[in-house]
Chains A and B, each alone.
Chain A
Amino acid sequence: MIGITSFGGYIPRYRLSRETIVRNMAWYSPVIMAIADGEKSVANWDEDAVSMAVAAARDCMAGRDKRNLDGVILASTTLPFTDRLNAGIVAAALNMKEDGVSNVDFTSCIKAGTTAAISALESIETGRRNNILVVASDQRRTKMATTSEMFFGDGAAALLFGTNDIIAEFMGSHSVNCDFIDHYRGAGREFDYGWEERWQRDEGYGKIIPRAIGGFLQKTGMKIADFNKVIYPCYFKGTHRGIAGKLGVKTEQIQDTMHSVCGDTGTAHPFVMLISALEEAKPGDRLLLASFGQGCDVMAFEVTDGITGFECPNGIKGSLANRSELTSYQRYSKFRDLIAADLGIRGEANPDSALTILWRKRKMLLGLVGVKCRKCGTPQFPPMPVCVNPDCWTSGEFDEYEFADKKAEILMFTGDMLAASVDPPAIYGLIGYDGGGRTMLDFTDCDLDQIAVGMEVAMSFRKRYFDKERGFTGYFWKAVPQVRGGDI
């Protein structure tokens, strides 16, 4: 048996009400008023496809042995590097082993996630590999007052495929591949360029998804009625319904597109919807998943008894519940760098990132890996040659110690209006980890009036800077105060 052995999800905490977009931008393009219901998820300014992928991957791997992983596949159309393995950044952030694994990026199409999943499953089927983590993530930039701005949300989802402890058995797949260009993004371009929506709807989603699902049913001899849920992204509401009609999918079988709670998360979306279905599924349920993008992949799963008692820390449900409304359209626009606000001369400092250091200290800088002294047992970060405990100061006798999954609390903090920041004040402070160790970190996903000394924080892998001069995105870890609720 092969199939899904774990899942994890990440929807950013901030949500932008579509009403807010309409209120600010409908003067420019009144057409957006027609789809003004619900809200979309918005990545913080320090998040991108890679950082969100790390969050989903960690959620999926929580409590599971990373040493068994044979590889990570990252699927996204918004990868920060064209030539540097983005999946490799995710693997390093997870502090995965480097030898005997195979990591790869799947990209250039928003169905890349399902294509990666099929590839992983086929590879596991050969028996040569097992335990492949497939993460899909997208943070697509959209122009102001466009339907894309209305439809698209940010998010990531991870599925672990393997042969042991399966929660949903893989029952087969079928793919259609064709060069249907509902939209495209030329190399080096920031934004999608899309053709007339009527054509996207009627000739694209409306025909290609039914064609692929029809092909799958024909190939397997299964019937649409065999499935408890039929899951396919399509942000055009009428078209989504129309596809169900064409295929004979009953209302109760249709998996919600999540337009109203987070919007379409691009490459991640088929997984986001699938995980939402898994979060409600019972043993024996059958799920049919389809994606869309220059064709369509169809995958079928049967939920096993393993789903009973299965847990991941957040999943999609938990991520959605951790919600804070971003009430300012201007702040959202600044997060996405759509408007030019002055960062000041202080913000011009642009030190180069030494690649030698990024290699030498990759565990520390990408994995938040410190050390624990063998003599006195003190966990410490950053790793230094001599133990930090003044009663020990033993030299060089350390074991690797991961801080990323440790809970911590705020020991002291500030909100700094002088520091150059996309989202002032820059909030940072000293945190102390449960079990020992402390460090000074930037805080994120919070406002100053929401935090206090003693509050719990969790570690989050974030974009630290983008070097515009050289095109380099630098990452490190930040502390996320465990604020619940509270709009900003």
Chain B
Amino acid sequence: MATGIKDKVAIIGMGCTKFGERWNDGAEELMIEAFQECLEDAGIERKDIQAAWLGNCFDEASIGKSALPVSMSLRLPNISVTRVENYCASGTEAFRGAVYAVASGACDIALAIGVEKLKDIGYGGLPEFSSLMGVVNQLWMANMTAPGAFAMLATGYAAKYGLEIDEVRKALAHISAKSHANGALNPKAHLRKAVTEDQVLNAPQVAYPLGLFDCCGVSDGSACAIVTTPEIARSLGKKDIVSVKALQLSLSNGTEFAYDWDGAHFITTSKASTAAYQEAGITDPRNEISMMEVHDCFSITELVTLEDLHISGRGQAPRDVMDGFYDLDGGVPCQVDGGLKCFGHPIGASGLRMLYEMYLQFHGRAGERQLKNPKIGLTHNLGGFPFMNVCSIAIVGKYGE
């Protein structure tokens, strides 16, 4: 009988680059920047790492195949290194690899690192999907981009709950304005400017009904974590140990796309969150979760996700959002670090960047954003498209609590 991952693995070090348009840095510079911070934080040496996982998505547009780019950039001592790709969950997948390796006893100390160098393609947004979506799909699938695929959710959501699209947009504007307010407090965020809801509502349209400020930034960045067992963490003199409480992944199987789906929620997120709460022993997420970093690639993704995490009831997220429940001083602060909205979304790095904020918060190192005594943190990634996606959820907290 599986016993789950709860409290089997501790995070002893983390690092994260400044996210942004890092015109003069490649993936190798970004990785070493995050890695050095992480190594120093962990207080170990490179040679202590026994295995590593790299999360990276658009390898075709940046680093190329395999895990060699990370092994060579960090000069890892000929250890096992694996590259994982699972759309926007890639960073969390790298983390899962390292955590599971430690939990299995296969190694004592493992590294998870995510990187994405997006700003070497010459145009805005993510790299064009058409040549990357598979040789069959490219022959028939709609001419989609990420903003368009997610924007459709807003029309589905409005139709399901009988809302005018402008009512939905108002809640979306609050979501983006809230994240910008948080991001302004974060020196590592890409976008550090507060915006008003009116600015969000009046921005140029990118994909109906989403405007520019409903979309997250596009950035370069890297983040990483070093994990080990709680026992080894203690032997290294670590205090206030942060441990993994749950790690869940759920993938679409075609139901949304080809069978039945209301177009107003994520089947995968709903399942993964339920499984994660069970793994972590959480029964009342609305009251037990102290803070969240959810996958706000677009404001509508965040809105819908709040319901699939079972924190807002079905159809209730707009009201909770407008009530400020997810603001920094609300019931469950969401996008405490500014989110994808302000960090941008270097895909392979994002999941680890979210965990980095949780880690800082637990250690009281979050500066102006510091929350009072957070107990449980949740991170969430949603990769692919709403109708065909990969969802990852991680729950972390203080070891033994």
In Å, the complex CA distance between A442 and B131 comes to: 17
Q: Is B257 an interface residue (CB 8 A)?
A: yes
Q: Is A438 an interface residue (CB 8 A)?
A: yes
Q: Is B151 an interface residue (CB 8 A)?
A: yes
**Do A380 and B208 have beta carbons less than 8 Å apart?**
no
Q: Is A421 an interface residue (CB 8 A)?
A: yes
What residues of B have a CB within 8 angstroms of the CB of A426 in the complex? 142-145, 148
**Do B123 and A439 have beta carbons less than 8 Å apart?**
no
Could you say which of A346, A412, A429 contacts B128, with CB atoms under 8 Å apart?
Answer: A346
Closest to B141 in A: A440
**Contact string against B for A residues 315-346, beta-carbon threshold 8 Å, 1 for contact and 0 otherwise:** 00000000000000000000000000000111
What residues of A have a CB within 8 angstroms of the CB of B258 in the complex? 380-382, 384, 388, 437-439
What residues of A have a CB within 8 angstroms of the CB of B124 in the complex? 418
B interface secondary structure, majority? loop
**Contact string against A for B residues 113-135, beta-carbon threshold 8 Å, 1 for contact and 0 otherwise:** 00000000111110010110001
**Do B131 and A345 have beta carbons less than 8 Å apart?**
no
Q: Is A200 an interface residue (CB 8 A)?
A: no
**Do A414 and B152 have beta carbons less than 8 Å apart?**
yes
Q: Is A142 an interface residue (CB 8 A)?
A: no
Shortest Cβ-Cβ A-B pairs, 9 listed: A416-B148, A428-B142, A412-B156, A414-B151, A453-B159, A351-B131, A412-B152, A415-B208, A345-B123
Q: Is B199 an interface residue (CB 8 A)?
A: no
Could you say which of A358, A417, A419 contacts B144, with CB atoms under 8 Å apart?
Answer: A419
What residues of A have a CB within 8 angstroms of the CB of B125 in the complex? 346, 418
Q: Given A418-B124, A418-B125, A418-B207, does the pair A411, B156 have CB atoms closer than 8 Å?
A: yes
From 239 to 279 in chain B, residues with beta carbon under 8 angstroms from any chain A beta carbon are 253-255, 257-260, 263
Closest to A344 in B: B123
Closest to B136 in A: A357
Closest to A421 in B: B143
Q: Is B139 an interface residue (CB 8 A)?
A: yes
What residues of A have a CB within 8 angstroms of the CB of B121 in the complex? 345
**Do B155 and A476 have beta carbons less than 8 Å apart?**
no
In Å, the complex CA distance between A428 and B140 comes to: 12
Q: Given A414-B155, A414-B207, does the pair A442, B130 have CB atoms closer than 8 Å?
A: no
**Do A390 and B255 have beta carbons less than 8 Å apart?**
yes
Q: A390 → chain B, closest Cβ, in Å?
A: 6
What residues of B have a CB within 8 angstroms of the CB of A357 in the complex? 135-136, 139
**Do B139 and A390 have beta carbons less than 8 Å apart?**
no
In Å, the complex CA distance between A365 and B122 comes to: 32
Closest to B123 in A: A345
**Do A417 and B207 have beta carbons less than 8 Å apart?**
yes
**Do A428 and B148 have beta carbons less than 8 Å apart?**
yes
Could you say which of A425, A439, A440, A442 contacts B208, with CB atoms under 8 Å apart?
Answer: A425
What residues of B have a CB within 8 angstroms of the CB of A428 in the complex? 142-144, 148
Q: Is A394 an interface residue (CB 8 A)?
A: no
Closest to B122 in A: A345
Q: Is A430 an interface residue (CB 8 A)?
A: yes
In Å, the complex CA distance between A380 and B260 comes to: 11
**Do B259 and A441 have beta carbons less than 8 Å apart?**
no
In Å, the complex CA distance between A381 and B259 comes to: 9
What residues of A have a CB within 8 angstroms of the CB of B155 in the complex? 412-414, 429, 453
**Do B206 and A417 have beta carbons less than 8 Å apart?**
yes
What residues of A have a CB within 8 angstroms of the CB of B263 in the complex? 411-412, 430
In Å, the complex CA distance between A390 and B131 comes to: 30
Contacts from A to B (Cβ < 8 Å): 344-346, 349-351, 353-354, 357-358, 361, 364-365, 378, 380-382, 384, 388-390, 411-421, 425-426, 428-430, 437-442, 448, 453-454, 464, 474, 476
- Most chain B C-beta atoms within 10 Å of own C-beta, residue among A345, A349, A438, A440: A440
Given contacts A412-B153, A412-B156, 7 further A-B contacts (CB under 8 A): A349-B131, A380-B259, A412-B152, A414-B210, A421-B143, A426-B142, A440-B144
Q: Is B387 an interface residue (CB 8 A)?
A: yes
**Do A414 and B123 have beta carbons less than 8 Å apart?**
no
Closest to B215 in A: A418
Q: B250 → chain A, closest Cβ, in Å?
A: 13
Could you say which of A353, A430, A442 contacts B152, with CB atoms under 8 Å apart?
Answer: A430
**Do A453 and B207 have beta carbons less than 8 Å apart?**
no
In Å, the complex CA distance between A390 and B157 comes to: 23
In Å, the complex CA distance between A353 and B208 comes to: 30
**Do B143 and A440 have beta carbons less than 8 Å apart?**
no
Q: B133 → chain A, closest Cβ, in Å?
A: 9
Q: Is B104 an interface residue (CB 8 A)?
A: no
Q: A132 → chain B, closest Cβ, in Å?
A: 30
**Do A438 and B259 have beta carbons less than 8 Å apart?**
yes
- Most chain A C-beta atoms within 10 Å of own C-beta, residue among B121, B130, B148, B254: B148
**Contact string against A for B residues 203-247, beta-carbon threshold 8 Å, 1 for contact and 0 otherwise:** 001111110000000000000000000000000000000000000
What residues of A have a CB within 8 angstroms of the CB of B253 in the complex? 388, 390
Closest to B385 in A: A440
Q: B262 → chain A, closest Cβ, in Å?
A: 9
Closest to B159 in A: A453
Q: B264 → chain A, closest Cβ, in Å?
A: 8
Closest to A349 in B: B128
17 A-B pairs (CB sep. < 8 Å):
A349-B130, A354-B135, A361-B136, A361-B139, A382-B258, A390-B255, A412-B155, A414-B152, A415-B205, A415-B207, A416-B207, A418-B148, A419-B145, A421-B143, A426-B143, A454-B159, A464-B140
What residues of B have a CB within 8 angstroms of the CB of A382 in the complex? 140, 258
Q: Is B147 an interface residue (CB 8 A)?
A: yes
What residues of B have a CB within 8 angstroms of the CB of A416 in the complex? 143-145, 147-148, 151, 206-208
Q: Is B73 an interface residue (CB 8 A)?
A: no
**Do A414 and B208 have beta carbons less than 8 Å apart?**
yes
What residues of A have a CB within 8 angstroms of the CB of B153 in the complex? 412
Q: A457 → chain B, closest Cβ, in Å?
A: 13
Q: Is B316 an interface residue (CB 8 A)?
A: no
What residues of A have a CB within 8 angstroms of the CB of B145 in the complex? 416, 418-419, 426
In Å, the complex CA distance between A429 and B155 comes to: 10
In Å, the complex CA distance between A448 and B210 comes to: 13
In Å, the complex CA distance between A475 and B139 comes to: 8
What residues of B have a CB within 8 angstroms of the CB of A361 in the complex? 136, 139
Q: B134 → chain A, closest Cβ, in Å?
A: 10
Q: Is B66 an interface residue (CB 8 A)?
A: no
In Å, the complex CA distance between A419 and B125 comes to: 10
What residues of A have a CB within 8 angstroms of the CB of B254 in the complex? 384, 388
In Å, the complex CA distance between A354 and B135 comes to: 7
Could you say which of B123, B140, B152 contacts A413, with CB atoms under 8 Å apart?
Answer: B152
Q: Is B138 an interface residue (CB 8 A)?
A: yes
In Å, the complex CA distance between A357 and B135 comes to: 8
Q: Given A413-B152, A414-B208, does the pair A420, B141 have CB atoms closer than 8 Å?
A: no
Closest to A432 in B: B260
What residues of B have a CB within 8 angstroms of the CB of A419 in the complex? 143-145, 148
In Å, the complex CA distance between A28 and B136 comes to: 47
**Do A388 and B128 have beta carbons less than 8 Å apart?**
no
What residues of B have a CB within 8 angstroms of the CB of A353 in the complex? 139
What residues of A have a CB within 8 angstroms of the CB of B149 in the complex? 414
What residues of B have a CB within 8 angstroms of the CB of A429 in the complex? 142, 152, 155
